[in-house]
């Protein structure tokens, strides 16, 4: 019977979601920019605005996608999808470190991963464990999103990539 507490918590949750969406817009636009710069996406997304030195085309595209997601999915679905995406990315980074440490063609200016190789393996396994405990509908949404990404990659990115395909 503390309605003011519920309203305060709802307001805090709303501010948290808005902050998360803004953060996702800015970080995702930089990711799109980097992928376009490497040729994986059309070069229009790699153009920087002269005034702000920011990737405006990527920013607009990501804003539209995130706004559409907010319009068509529930808060729970969005939260689960963001959780899946973040955990999936952390899993790839954790296990990717194992391979990157062995590469000799990348300059290493002294940065070392603490607890290598144990910490990256433990981190990756914990991420997989947490992915396994997400709701079942998130797997369908993530599969659709990953299929869309794979289609874009094989139709456009693979052929325009400036990276070696070895």
Q: How many domains does the chain contain in total?
A: 2
Identify the residue with better confidence: 164 or 42. 42
pLDDT tens figures, 5-48: 989 998 998 898 788 878 888 888 999 999 999 999 999 999 99
Question: Could you tell me the residue range of the domain that residue 91 belongs to?
Answer: 74-166
The pLDDT tens digits for 49-74 are: 988 888 999 999 999 988 898 899 88
Beta carbons of 32 and 41 less than 8 angstroms apart: yes
Q: Does residue 90 sit in the same domain as residue 114?
A: yes
Q: Do residue 127 and residue 103 come from a single domain?
A: yes
Q: Contact, 138 vs 81, CB < 8 A?
A: yes
Asked if 8 and 131 touch (Cβ cutoff 8 Å), the reply is no
Instruction: Return mean pLDDT, the chain.
Output: 89
Same structural domain, 56 and 120: no
User: What's the pLDDT at 58?
Assistant: 94
The 10 Å CB-count burial string (b at 16+, else e) for 37-60 is: bebbbeeebbeeeeeeeebbbbbe
* Domain finish residue from 72, 101, 120: 72
Do residues 125 and 12 make contact, with C-beta atoms less than 8 angstroms apart?
Answer: no
């Amino acid at each position: 019977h503390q309605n003011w507490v519920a309203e305060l918590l709802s307001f805090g949750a709303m501010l948290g979601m808005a902050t998360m969406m803004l953060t996702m817009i800015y970080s995702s636009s930089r990711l799109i920019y980097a992928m376009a710069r490497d040729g994986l996406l059309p070069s229009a997304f790699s153009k920087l605005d002269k005034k702000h030195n920011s990737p405006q085309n990527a920013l607009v595209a990501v804003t539209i996608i995130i706004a559409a997601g907010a319009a068509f999915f529930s808060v729970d679905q969005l939260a689960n999808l963001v959780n899946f995406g973040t955990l999936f990315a952390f899993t790839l980074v954790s296990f990717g470190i194992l391979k990157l440490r062995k590469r000799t063609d990348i300059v290493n200016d002294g940065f070392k991963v603490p607890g290598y190789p144990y910490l990256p393996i433990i981190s990756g396994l914990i991420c997989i464990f947490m992915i396994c405990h997400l709701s079942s509908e998130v797997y369908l949404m993530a599969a659709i999103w990953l299929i869309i990404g794979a289609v874009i990659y094989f139709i456009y990115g693979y052929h325009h990539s400036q990276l070696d395909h070895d």
